[in-house]
A and B are shown apart, each in its own frame.
Chain A
């Protein structure tokens, strides 16, 4: 089979698998978040945290919960790293330096999983398992909780309650992420992924680092985290040994964002509402895959930066999926891609991570974009704009605007400063337009909580550690607060009945409008910067 044919078969298997799984999983998630009963384990957790699981929260309290939980998570993760030398399984790797600890703590709490460290030489197994892996679960669950809270904004009428953050968080972990991760960790072990508490194994007389990989690998993809337990990430044979494990990992990183569209459709009582979002996500994902694939296949040195085990198609599918889901795991070096291919992975992030985006973040981001699109469309049909039975007025547009503004603001400001800092020159492997692409990629990755690295840029100096940390925090929490405020103002409204004058949001017209809005917003914002980076590279 030619590599292209093999690649197409892989895409086919992937699409079929997602098509089959997203329905039951999506419906399962819908039940999880709307169930009224609590399991014994959950009740025990609520008692431990002194939480009344049946008390609804206002949007502000919900947001306070998200921020408070995340802040405590950052502190715990920071402290764990700083006291690593006294923890077991540290293999003498010592305490993690302050700047790196700060960056890593924010990175994992924000579901970015940007890694400014080399795991094999910096992180011991305790920090990995008790710190980073825990965040892989809860940071994904936080994103999903916020998405569900936004959906509840559409479902509830004249209410000031959005559900309970702690319940949504616990259920996301206990009922969704843990069971699926458990199953797929075993699947991955069966496919050859390592699972060991040793620091390394001797291969041909050489010590090769190893770790409890499989257990982290599953949730790394499932929770759209992306932080590898080994530096080479999914390009490492211990994390991703063959084409089948590659496909399973791609499936895992897409499955929750994709299935959440079904959850959405089920919850709002009209499955078509979910399908239309999925179709827009799928359309852009496919288009970008085609761009990256074709660009790489026709590059000057097609296999540069890629694992021979995966080849161009396996790398292109992975690269496209990991950058369009805010996962950020990599199985190839995006830095070595062609101008167009690398630009494609960058653009995937600049869309704002909603094609299909991260766990939960993808759904709420595309809903925010739908609100913007429906605002303009509503005006164009001569009615006060509405979406899913809620009017889009001043408060809704303001919240949506803040949510959309956060990412480009931190990205452009910090990347701009970085571009002219004298220290940046030393951090870059490449001068000129490719160097600018490296800077843009780093900040796009942090601001969008993707976490993948273009590589080719050394981000360990204090400027990068701190500015990227700030980008991750703002890129994560500003939109979350805005989205929850949006949910609050939606829930407070009455329901607008559907009449013949209501613009339907299920057909191809709406899909086109939404896809156009996503592409246009990203293009208008970033084309000037891209012109000097990937566009200049690609036109060469």
Chain B
């Protein structure tokens, strides 16, 4: 078996595609509306400043004033552009989703026909091969193959059947074969696809808790700088160097945290978008943020940590039988065994297909009474089955017990009632899991494996997989109790689930990722849905949550650190006339006061554009300890934030000084 767990192949579109940019520009202008600007206190101040300077530029036209006005407007526009580009990426996805919302006609069970948009919760509709399912619901009758590619992008059809955990169907998907009766579970307009569209468009985007707190901090900084700049005028008047409103506005805009202010909402939208690109739908931004805070991860053993089925891993001959004898017998006994276990035995024997002679044998299927299956080939009666189905010798008993103790399942092989040996079936941990759990540990996340196995088996697999803890013989209530217990201790818990049984636990957990193959109850209870139904994706989700917060923090630090250089550019420009010694602070050697101020303003605007790709992509995140992360980000965004503007403003000044009337 060479399969390894692949990280979900995230489509890697260019961060800012040309098409998006073209679409975003008109949006950027539309967002100049004051109602939109008011939502962002930092950019609103810039907006008011731009208006103010424009008035001055019109009433008293000068090159400097006009240039400052233009670049202040650019600052606002660039912020709008960042948001528009982020939204644009979602819009493309929304459009393709919207196409699935054809006006499907619903055929009710009682024969009435009505438009899909008029369905009510509880209606029973009939869908046959070739028809589009008119709304979200559960299959209550029948079994069908359904093409869900419109939503998941996965072209292989899936089976949906009444009862059990595979009964949920999504409106807009197509039935390929057979006939099902669906009970509608959501109102039109609130369906899964509707919610997806709203989410990827960012239409219902609400500020997340951390975003609100950060906005308060940014507003505080803005107030501080407003005070500092407003109070500067009387001090300047006292000192005999009154400043123009244009210069003071320029100083204010340069100081307030416009960089992060401009990119904040783009970062949030892009974070959601990164999840969507990985085929995960978060029902709220809050859930994405919570993902970054997860302390405990509950992972189902089967399908997540181990392959879904037990696999043969070893042949143990007993009572003098040779290894080859046992392997040969095991192979014969499994030739006709279509179960995954049976195939795994064949794989372990080398996987040679049956010869013509062997095909003449009589296959004995597994029966509940005999608890064994096998083949009668001539006078050979070869059987494999549960240990309790055979009369075991002392040695065989010993081997069987040992395998059981180690968490495996023993399968006894016998020929003509003589036991040849035992096949060890065990859970096979997916490769790479240990490394991933180590990563999680480095991030401070505790992993708990949840399994229905007995404690012995669970312990063995937990040790092999490298999880921190396990919950054995777990019933749904136990899972719930574990989540509550963790939460009592102040820890945030994430889990995945697909069954209706899982719904309460999904609802209770802080981050509950429902598998798209799961029931509507599970999908309703969780706050995320994984369209690929890949439980290991929880790990990716945690990383995206963290990356989102880190991007905000890093750009805030960068934004504030930038102010140092701006002081060095603008203060000497303002006051070297009255205190020539302040000219010493002009360490960048900027040409004139006008060129210095304008260069700072231009840098302040351009840095927004430069950082848009970073805001959309998120800063690089490698799982490591909190201290290592902080050290790295302080170095890059703190120190980098101090140095970059010195270079940037100096370079811009080299060009700006060439403008007549400025240089």
Contacts and interface: CB of A to CB of B under 8 A. Distances in A.
Interface of A: 372, 375-385, 389, 392-394, 396-398, 401, 404-405, 408-409, 412-413, 415-417, 419-420, 424, 432-433, 435-436, 439, 494-497, 499-504, 507, 509, 513, 516, 520-521, 523-529, 531-533, 535-536, 539-540
Contacts of B548: 382
Contacts of A523: 564
Contacts of A436: 235, 238-239
A528 B548 CA distance: 34
Nearest to B239: A532
Contacts of B51: none
A408 B220 CA distance: 11
Kindly name the residue among B236, B441, B626 whose own CB sees the greatest number of chain A CB atoms within 10 A. B626
B268 to A, nearest CB: 13
Contact of A529 (B232, B295, B443, B547): B232
Nearest to B624: A381
Contact of A378 (B236, B553, B581): B553
A481 to B, nearest CB: 16
A29 to B, nearest CB: 29
Given A382-B621, A383-B546, A529 B235 contact: yes
A540 B579 CA distance: 9
A396 B210 CA distance: 11
B575 A379 contact: no
B629 A382 contact: yes
A396 B216 CA distance: 10
B394 to A, nearest CB: 49
Contacts of A516: 638
Given A384-B293, A393-B209, A500 B443 contact: yes
Given A392-B213, A393-B209, A504-B627, A529 B553 contact: no
A397 B220 CA distance: 10
Contacts of B489: 497
B230 interface: yes
B543 to A, nearest CB: 8
A372 B210 CA distance: 13
Contacts of A389: 490
Contacts of A507: 627
12 contacts: A376-B556, A380-B550, A383-B546, A384-B549, A413-B231, A497-B490, A500-B442, A523-B564, A525-B225, A526-B228, A535-B582, A536-B581
Contacts of A513: 630, 634
Contacts of B556: 376, 379
Binding site secondary structure of chain B: helix
B349 interface: no
Given A500-B441, A527-B567, A529-B228, A417 B234 contact: yes
B292 A384 contact: yes
A209 B557 CA distance: 56
B383 interface: no
A494 B228 contact: no
A520 B414 CA distance: 79
Given A408-B227, A495-B490, A394 B209 contact: yes
A408 B223 CA distance: 10
Given A384-B289, A503-B626, 12 more contacts: A376-B556, A379-B549, A382-B292, A382-B550, A382-B629, A383-B546, A384-B292, A384-B549, A401-B217, A419-B235, A497-B490, A501-B444
Size range of the chain B interface in the assembly: 35 or more
A376 B229 CA distance: 24
A531 B490 contact: no
Contacts of A380: 550, 553-554, 557, 629-630, 633-634, 637
B630 A509 contact: yes
Interface in B559-600: 560, 563-564, 567, 571, 575, 579, 581-582, 584-585
A501 B563 contact: no
Contacts, number: 209
Contact of A536 (B225, B546, B552, B579): B579
Contact of B553 (A376, A419, A495): A376
B73 to A, nearest CB: 25
A382 B575 contact: no
A101 to B, nearest CB: 29
A501 B217 contact: no
B445 A501 contact: yes
Contact of B626 (A409, A420, A502): A502
Given A495-B490, A524-B255, A381 B626 contact: yes
Nearest to B548: A382
A312 to B, nearest CB: 25
B575 A420 contact: no
A383 B634 contact: no
B560 A416 contact: no
Contacts of A528: 228-229, 231-232, 235, 251, 567, 571
Given A382-B545, A433-B239, A376 B571 contact: no
Contacts of B446: 499
A405 B220 contact: yes
B236 A532 contact: yes
A413 B228 CA distance: 9
Interface string B435-470: 000000111111000000000000000000000000
Contact of A419 (B238, B292, B295, B567): B238
B20 interface: no
Given A375-B217, A496-B490, A500-B625, A394 B212 contact: yes
B565 to A, nearest CB: 12
Contacts of B575: 531-532, 536
Contacts of A524: 221, 224-225, 228, 255, 560, 563
A397 B213 contact: yes
B216 A398 contact: yes
B35 interface: no
Interface in B319-363: none
Contacts of B367: none
B209 A501 contact: no
B233 interface: yes
A499 B220 contact: no
B581 A497 contact: no
Contacts of A401: 216-217, 219-220
Contact of B582 (A404, A417, A531): A531
A524 B225 CA distance: 8
B224 A532 contact: no
Contacts of B295: 497, 499, 501
Nearest to A390: B490
Given A405-B223, A436-B239, A503-B626, A382 B549 contact: yes
Nearest to A533: B235
Interface string B611-630: 00000000001000111011
A280 to B, nearest CB: 16
B457 to A, nearest CB: 28
Given A397-B213, A497-B295, A509-B630, A420 B238 contact: yes
A525 B225 CA distance: 6
A536 B578 CA distance: 10
